[in-house]
Amino acid sequence: MAAADLPEGTLQNVLEQDSLKWVFVGGKGGVGKTTCSSILSILLSRVRSSVLIISTDPAHNLSDAFQQKFTKTPTLVNGFTNLYAMEVDPTVEHEDMGTDGMDNLFSELANAIPGIDEAMSFAEMLKLVQTMDYSVIVFDTAPTGHTLRLLQFPSTLEKGLAKVMSLKNKFGGLMSQRMQFWESSRGMKDVIEQVNRQFKDPDLTTFVCVCIPEFLSLYETERLVQELTKFEIDTHNIIINQVLYDEEGSESKLLKARMRMQQKYLDQFYMLYDDFNITKLPLLPEEVTGVEALKAFSCHFLTPYQPSTSESTVEALEQRVSTLRQQLKDTEAQLEKLRKGKQKV
């Protein structure tokens, strides 16, 4: 069945699921994850007592989306009383370590375990978040590869601790003097494992995939959905962003060609994910930045976008005839100019 024949989906189901505690928004780089997660957090703030949106992407765009500077501590978003935002640095800073040779050795040991810096940073952030009483937390995640690593952090921490504990057993007293960092990570591991159990509960957690109607994005979305299924994380919403619609008066051959290409991939999305809520968002001529622009665009998350294709009324036809006449007049003028140029030569 073609995409055009299927009912349009919305994200109303996310707002209506009162039990949700964690909402992840992710996908390929450059598809509009930050805009979608920002708008979703605005919509959730209308139905929840308090909302926190966290950016875990190393290239933070949350500050740009809201046009307000955010840091690693939750900050109230301008114009809201219950929406907070924070940007998390993916690299851990070992503030409890000094600068002497032995401290540097342990810092190097910590960073030698693949992914341990991100795992520790993520654990620290979750530890902080758990002490706060937010109704729902929205994650604006990094591109797909980083997000999949994020889901593997509990096992990364476990392996890292096992390696360092084996070193402690070998070197005894020498190691025990510098184990504060790793002892504190034990508590982090407990926190992240507890949160990981919540991530696997569909009543508490869902993952919203964001993509665009192109081959690479379709491929990346399929990979992401497969991995989420493997990690037992619920996902039943897909946002297809930057969709071109056949607007009234559009005569561009390039646009028509792009629309045909997009339609091919839209049909594939609907065929592959027939049991998902698929929300289509239009490509706009301008960027969606700032609270007012985000609020204005949020209506398309709850009501399917309707392109401005008016009925064949007398006024519409007269307007189109007038446009075509003007185009014909301009073309004839150009032709006459060319003819005169040739006569001079």
> Domain of 187: which CATH number?
3.40.50.300
Whether 234 is catalytic: no
Distance of alpha carbon 57 from alpha carbon 73, whole angstroms: 15
Predicted confidence at residue 321, as pLDDT, reads 81
**Residue 296 covered by a domain:** yes
200 annotated to bind ligand: no
pTM of the model: 0.77
336 annotated to bind ligand: no
Judge whether 38 and 72 are in contact, CB under 8 Å. no
**Residue 262 covered by a domain:** yes
Judge whether 52 and 74 are in contact, CB under 8 Å. yes
Distance of alpha carbon 187 from alpha carbon 192, whole angstroms: 9
Give yes or no: residues 317 and 272 share one domain.
Answer: no
**Residue 6 covered by a domain:** no
Give yes or no: residues 252 and 334 share one domain.
Answer: no
**Residue 30 covered by a domain:** yes
329 annotated to bind ligand: no
79 annotated to bind ligand: no
Give yes or no: residues 38 and 91 share one domain.
Answer: yes
Q: Which residues contact 330 (CB under 8 A, 6 or more apart)?
A: none
Tokens at 8, concatenated: 């349009």
**Residue 216 covered by a domain:** yes
340 annotated to bind ligand: no
Give yes or no: residues 110 and 245 share one domain.
Answer: yes
Give yes or no: residues 137 and 225 share one domain.
Answer: yes
Give yes or no: residues 202 and 237 share one domain.
Answer: yes
Give yes or no: residues 234 and 331 share one domain.
Answer: no
Give yes or no: residues 75 and 159 share one domain.
Answer: yes
Q: What residues form DSSP beta bridges with 208?
A: 25, 237
**Residue 2 covered by a domain:** no
Give the SS3 label for residue 84: strand
30 annotated to bind ligand: yes
Give the SS3 label for residue 157: helix
Using alpha carbons only, give the angle 208, 210, 211 rounded to the nearest 5 degrees.
150
Q: Where are the alpha helices (DSSP H) in 76-143?
A: 101-111, 116-130
Distance of alpha carbon 283 from alpha carbon 13, whole angstroms: 23
34 annotated to bind ligand: yes
Catalytic residue among 57, 117, 140, 234: 57
Predicted confidence at residue 307, as pLDDT, reads 79
Number of domains in the chain: 2
9 annotated to bind ligand: no
Predicted confidence at residue 337, as pLDDT, reads 80
156 annotated to bind ligand: no
Give yes or no: residues 109 and 133 share one domain.
Answer: yes
Judge whether 88 and 56 are in contact, CB under 8 Å. yes
How does pLDDT run along the chain (345 residues), one tens digit per residue? 555 555 578 999 999 999 999 999 988 888 999 999 999 999 999 999 999 999 887 777 899 999 999 988 899 999 999 999 998 865 544 444 444 444 555 555 555 555 555 566 666 677 677 777 899 999 998 776 666 666 666 666 666 666 666 666 666 555 555 555 556 556 666 766 777 788 889 999 999 999 999 999 999 999 999 989 988 889 999 999 999 988 766 678 888 899 999 999 999 999 999 999 999 999 998 899 999 999 999 999 999 988 765 555 677 677 778 778 887 888 888 888 888 776 654
Predicted confidence at residue 133, as pLDDT, reads 85
Q: Are strands 75-76 and 83-87 parallel, antiparallel or unpaired?
A: antiparallel
Distance of alpha carbon 323 from alpha carbon 64, whole angstroms: 39
Structural domain of residue 244, as residue ranges? 11-308
**Residue 1 covered by a domain:** no
145 annotated to bind ligand: no
**Residue 281 covered by a domain:** yes
Distance of alpha carbon 281 from alpha carbon 256, whole angstroms: 18
Give yes or no: residues 176 and 317 share one domain.
Answer: no
Give yes or no: residues 238 and 316 share one domain.
Answer: no
Give yes or no: residues 332 and 292 share one domain.
Answer: no
